[in-house]
A = this chain, B = another copy of it.
Amino acid sequence: MTTSKSQIKFGFDFTSVPDLVACIQKLTDWGYSYACIPLVHAKLTPDASNLDRSALVSRADVILQAETWNRVVVKLSPHLDLDSEDAVARDRDAELFRQEVSYASYLNVSAIMFRLPLDGCMPNLARLVNVALHDNVFVNFYVQVPMCSGSGANENGISSDNNGCGATDTWKLWSAFSAACDYHRSVCLALELSVDLPDEQELDRWLGEPIKAVIAPTSIFLTNKMGFPVLSRPHQTFVNKLFDLDACIFISGESNQNMKPYFEYLSYIHDNNKSDKLYSYSYAYEDLLQVPLQPLINNLDNNVYAVFEQDPIKYQQYEKAITRALTDKVKSSSTEVLTVCVVGAGRGPLVNASLKASDNSKVAIKVYAIEKNENALHVLNYNNDNYWHNLVTVVCADMRTWKFEEKCDILVSELLGSFGDNELSPECLDGAQKFLKEDGVCIPSSYTSYLSPLQSQTLFSNMKMFKSNTPMDNLHENAEQIYVVNMRNMYIISPAQPLFTFDHPRCDLERNNNRYTTLTFDIKQDCILHGFAGYFNAVLYKDVNISIEPSTFSTGMFSWYPAYIPIKSSITLKKDEQLKVHFWRLSDTSKVWYEWSISKPNSMPVHNPNARSYSMQLH
């Protein structure tokens, strides 16, 4: 788990490039790494007689080294009108498009950029991009879309003549184009910033799109008292969020000025960004899907223990909770030494917390450390000998079957997964409850899973590709399991709502831990549903909590990434619609699993019926 900040990528967007080598030299002098240039020389005007355009060679590959081309984004000719009503012009421009893409692909450029027509008329453009993706496996497209309509579209825009059409929702255009390209991973967004920013909801929605480049015109910058370029506070905030996505920022302006101050200013902002984002501690594993741990059937390794033991918040909270519980308990108890059982003790962090809590509260305790992973027992015994003065009774047992003569006052555990109960804490603690006194306390005493609908084309396509080479019969497999993921490139459509709650100890032990809940979310703006983010909030003791649910997040705690619960196909949600989700927790003698479905605005099939794709094993 690395905590170093990611490097940002800076580039400059050249309007015209009479001398490519000189341009690249200028770029390096300013401190930029990436260049965005027109592919075709500006003096080449469209001309049917000019179809083979040997003048493309004015950008001959040999003038730059291959590594340099890898840092170049080329812009297709802006005059290409691929959806012209004139069939002859359309066919000619389609052939020019094919030639330009083919040449750019040959150059191995970083990406090929073009503007999305703002009149929304783009079936032929979409077709040609689909064909290009089919023909050129390694090509990347950056689709330049202004954040607000009217911004920037005058400047060489394909659709400059359609610019008077008023307030087009450019997100919808992008969304339609992206759908027309089947959400292909190689069709990414180059978002063009505007002087006026849309409202926060709209801004956030862009963050759910696969933004790989940002075009920042110099016109969005203000000049400070010292004469240097600066951004307004809202622009700063948004740009900081874009940094988190690892997008390349292209400054766009007059290349005959010195552009170094823009680079310096944005670097300054980046380095001083105390991001208020959750999970900002870690720039690793971004948007990478991982299968949740199943510590009940798989023994964890020392690496995993070591990482989680570093959490600066979690064990503080446990210590606080145990301290309070001991203090409360000793008042009502007749014995002077209280018994604490740490179940699932691992290498002992909760034993430490218990012993510290005993010190804090001045309440004497007897500690049992129960752990089923025989490998971790070695560390527990070592710690007992060296740090715990052999005051701890170390037991190798599964808490569900351990026969204990006595009963304890406090049962401490850390069995929660990202989605709360998904590592089978309820089943484990139900099993351990038999050695808890009737008036005993469980820490945690309760936990609740939370669900938020989310939009994230990146998570969605990562999910679809999770297991490749899967036969069609198992098509559902990837979409019917739960992932753990450090989410970055996403938009939370609606705040999280509580799903399933479990309380410990419980009096109705004969009932199972099955649950069924329906949640209804109000949709505030048009967007695309790609699944759900799952969180938990746990009450350790009274008002001592740990939480990864955003509104109550335990700042600094890093032991859990959120869960991603996908759906099989994306759903278009409209403003003021309702989204209705059904979630089941089910079980049989060998396993526990979730099923989920959607009934509004459209019906979706039940996911994971009878645990066909995914389950949590009890044995």
Contact = CB atoms under 8 A, between A and B. Distances in A.
B584 A179 contact: no
Nearest to A91: B514
B599 A180 contact: yes
B127 A606 contact: yes
A175 B603 CA distance: 9
Interface string A516-540: 1010000000000000000000000
A597 B180 contact: yes
A595 B471 contact: no
Interface string A58-100: 0000000000000000000000000000010011000000000
B134 A612 contact: yes
B180 A604 contact: yes
A572 B602 contact: yes
Contacts of A472: 468-472, 475
B471 A584 contact: no
Interface in A568-619: 569, 572, 582, 584, 595, 597, 599, 602-606, 609-610, 612
Contacts of A178: 603
A357 interface: no
A513 to B, nearest CB: 13
Instruction: Please tell me the size bucket of the interface on A.
Output: 35 or more
A595 B126 CA distance: 12
Nearest to A126: B606
A315 interface: no
Among A175, A584, A603, A612, the one with the most B-chain Cβ atoms within 10 Å of its Cβ is A603
Contact of A176 (B126, B134, B599): B599
A490 to B, nearest CB: 21
Interface in A131-185: 131, 133-135, 175-182
A603 B124 contact: no
Contacts of A123: 518, 582, 597, 599
Given A87-B516, A569-B569, A597-B180, A131 B610 contact: yes
A130 interface: yes
Nearest to A127: B606
B516 A124 contact: yes
Nearest to A178: B603
A134 B609 contact: yes
Interface string A105-128: 000000000000000001110110
Contacts of A179: 602-605
Contact of A605 (B87, B135, B182, B475): B182
A563 B567 CA distance: 33
A180 B598 CA distance: 8
29 contacts: A87-B516, A123-B582, A124-B516, A124-B582, A127-B582, A127-B584, A127-B595, A127-B597, A127-B606, A127-B609, A130-B606, A130-B609, A130-B610, A131-B609, A131-B610, A133-B609, A134-B609, A134-B612, A135-B610, A176-B599, A177-B603, A179-B603, A180-B605, A468-B472, A469-B472, A469-B473, A470-B472, A471-B472, A475-B475
Given A127-B609, A472-B475, 17 more contacts: A91-B514, A122-B599, A123-B597, A124-B582, A126-B597, A127-B582, A127-B584, A127-B597, A130-B605, A131-B610, A179-B604, A180-B605, A181-B605, A469-B473, A470-B472, A471-B472, A472-B472
The 3 closest A-B pairs by CB, nearest first: A182-B605, A179-B603, A130-B609
